[in-house]
Amino acid sequence: MISVADALARCLALVQQTTTETVPLRRANNRVMASAAVSQMTQPPFAASAMDGYALGRSAGPGETFTVIGEAGAGHGFAGAIQADQAIRIFTGAPLPEGAASIAIQEDIRRDGDQITLTTTAKPGDNIRPRGQDFTFGQALSPRLLRPNDLALLAAMNVPEISVRRRPIVALMASGDELVMPGETAAPDQIIASNTFALAAMVEAAGGEARMLPIARDSEASLRTVFALTEGCDLIVTVGGASVGDHDLVGKVAADLGLERAFWQIAMRPGKPLMAGKVLGIPMLGLPGNPVSAIVCGHLFMVPMLKAMLGLAPEPQVLTARLGSDQPANGPRDHYMRARLSIEAGQPTITAFARQDSALLTILTEANALLIRPLGDGPRSAGEVVNYIPI
Ligand SMILES: Nc1nc2c(c(=O)[nH]1)N[C@H]1C(S)=C(S)[C@@H](COP(=O)(O)OP(=O)(O)OC[C@H]3O[C@@H](n4cnc5c(N)ncnc54)[C@H](O)[C@@H]3O)O[C@H]1N2
Ligand code: MOO
């Protein structure tokens, strides 16, 4: 059995970055930029009013008066310049007129005809947004997985199309005679296929495209039929049939199809029977069937493989927290325990659930973190600092 780190390195070595394509901004959410975007604008392009009020020719104090000589609105600037004792009516987003030193909000003004009197102090620069305070022409936004906030910035930069990495297509292949799809009626010896629904959502959240293939039955013929449906995919993720049982045929059929195996079995709990390699010219990750094992291995290996294909840093983020309860010594495999991270007495605190069977989806839904217990680690007491991965 190889280590988790070795397994991850071998998984990452199987994949390569996808090609690039150009998409309109409206289609760029959750896509990964292939190169930096360069701003075509300075924002704001002019010094602008941050409030509705009056632009004043000079800073001033309470009781001082100005003559209003015009108006500036957003999209309708004031053409001329103003003198020290002059003001213009100005609205939020309007360009600051030449000669203006300060903006007084309208709540701080008394107006009588074209005369205004200040009721407070207007200091230089008050309520003025300097030109380019947000970004300037030529400024770059570095490549990233695009989120809604990024799209607003790219729009403001006047970047209407983005060069992105093609979404990796992931074939999700569940196998087992006991499985039926949600909505179907399960025979007395059957259960509902579940983990591929989490895996598909994880693929999509990571910026890939999930193809859920029909469930393969526990026969070589059925597995071959479903393997044939993986053509054109960037990654094959099988679920189940990875272990040592008589009906665990995924490895055998993949081998018959020419699997170049990178590894099988790792020193990790859950996920011992994990397998990876290349079959039919496509990288393949063979996940264990137990729902929690499949999903935990999805976080630790499948998502990093997708990130690598998209050109993002692949390694899962490892953070630290204090242990919320004592833990006994760990066994001979790294244990990724389903756990709950919370803030206690101002400190991030992580508490593992008492039940860790890799078939318990109810526990997994309560978990928001995986507490990492390294193999061979001794007993740990509440309060000690430990590593975890948020999920
Ligand atoms: N003698 C041994 N037995 C087992 C070992 C071992 O080392 N020696 N390893 C155990 C470990 S650890 C795991 S994990 C499982 C994994 O086995 P497989 O990958 O072959 O998975 P299956 O046997 O097909 O299924 C296991 C379990 O999960 C259920 N399952 C499968 N697919 C799905 C799905 N898509 N959705 C929901 N549930 C699924 C399946 O019904 C089984 O209950 O092997 C241990 N055995
Ligand atoms: O390691 Mo298996 O993946 O526990 O259930």
DSSP string of 243-254?
SSSTT--HHHHH
* Residue 191 Cα: closest atom of ligand 1: 41
pLDDT of residue 245: 75
Residue 239: CB within 6 Å of ligand 1? yes
* Residue 271 Cα: closest atom of ligand 2: 3
- Note the pLDDT tens digit of each residue in 314-342: 999 999 999 999 999 999 999 999 999 99
Do residues 157 and 264 share a domain? Answer: no
Residue 269: CB within 6 Å of ligand 1? no
- Note the pLDDT tens digit of each residue in 90-142: 999 999 999 999 999 999 999 999 999 999 999 999 999 999 999 999 999 99
Residue 178: CB within 6 Å of ligand 1? yes
Task: Residue 83: name the closest of 62, 97, 63, 104 by CA.
Answer: 97
Tokens encoding 331: 């066994």
Residue 68 forms part of a structural domain: yes
Q: Write down the residue that tokens 């094959």 correspond to.
A: 236
Beta carbons within 8 Å of 245's beta carbon, 6+ residues apart: none
pTM, two decimal places: 0.89
pLDDT of residue 378: 97
Do residues 172 and 117 share a domain? Answer: no
Ligand with minimal distance to 176 CA: 1
Do residues 242 and 347 share a domain? Answer: no
Task: Residue 29: name the closest of 154, 113, 198, 203 by CA.
Answer: 154
CATH code, 343: 2.40.340.10
Mutate to test the pocket of ligand 2, among 4, 244, 264, 293 (most ligand atoms within 8 A of CB): 293
- Note the pLDDT tens digit of each residue in 182-192: 999 999 999 99
DSSP state of 45: S
Q: How many domains does the chain have?
A: 4
Q: Which of 129, 149, 181 is the last residue of a domain?
A: 129
Do residues 298 and 182 share a domain? Answer: yes
Do residues 222 and 304 share a domain? Answer: yes
Do residues 153 and 209 share a domain? Answer: no
Ligand with minimal distance to 268 CA: 2
**What percentage of the chain exceeds 70 in pLDDT?**
100
pLDDT of residue 308: 98
Q: Is 247's pLDDT higher than 80?
A: no
Residue 171 forms part of a structural domain: yes
**What percentage of the chain exceeds 90 in pLDDT?**
98
Provide mean pLDDT across the span 275-299.
97
Q: What are phi and psi of 352, to 5 degrees?
A: -80, 145
The mean pLDDT of the chain is 97
CA of 273 to the centre of ligand 1 (A): 9
Do residues 90 and 156 share a domain? Answer: no
DSSP state of 151: H
Q: Is 13's pLDDT higher than 90?
A: yes
Do residues 295 and 349 share a domain? Answer: no
CA of 253 to the centre of ligand 2 (A): 22
pLDDT of residue 302: 98
Residue 36 forms part of a structural domain: yes
CA of 80 to the centre of ligand 1 (A): 78
Q: Which of 309, 339, 354 is the last residue of a domain?
A: 309
- Note the pLDDT tens digit of each residue in 211-223: 999 999 999 999 9
Residue 337 forms part of a structural domain: yes
Mutate to test the pocket of ligand 1, among 173, 197, 243, 264 (most ligand atoms within 8 A of CB): 243
Residue 297 forms part of a structural domain: yes
Do residues 29 and 72 share a domain? Answer: no
Residue 216 forms part of a structural domain: yes
CA of 186 to the centre of ligand 2 (A): 24
**DSSP one-letter string for 295-321:** HHHIIIIIHHHHHHHHTS--SPPPEEE
Beta carbons within 8 Å of 188's beta carbon, 6+ residues apart: none
What is the rounded CA–CA span in Å between residue 62 and residue 109?
9
pLDDT of residue 242: 81
Ligand 2 pocket, CB under 6 A: 269-272, 288, 290, 293, 358
Do residues 230 and 203 share a domain? Answer: yes
CATH code, 55: 2.170.190.11
Q: Which of 129, 145, 176 is the last residue of a domain?
A: 129
270 upstream amide cis, omega within 30 of 0: yes
Residue 314 forms part of a structural domain: no
Residue 275 forms part of a structural domain: yes
Do residues 241 and 285 share a domain? Answer: yes
CA of 298 to the centre of ligand 1 (A): 15
Do residues 341 and 235 share a domain? Answer: no
Provide mean pLDDT across the span 27-56.
97
Compute the radius of gyration of the chain from its Cα atoms. Answer: 30
The boundaries of the domain holding residue 114 are 48-129
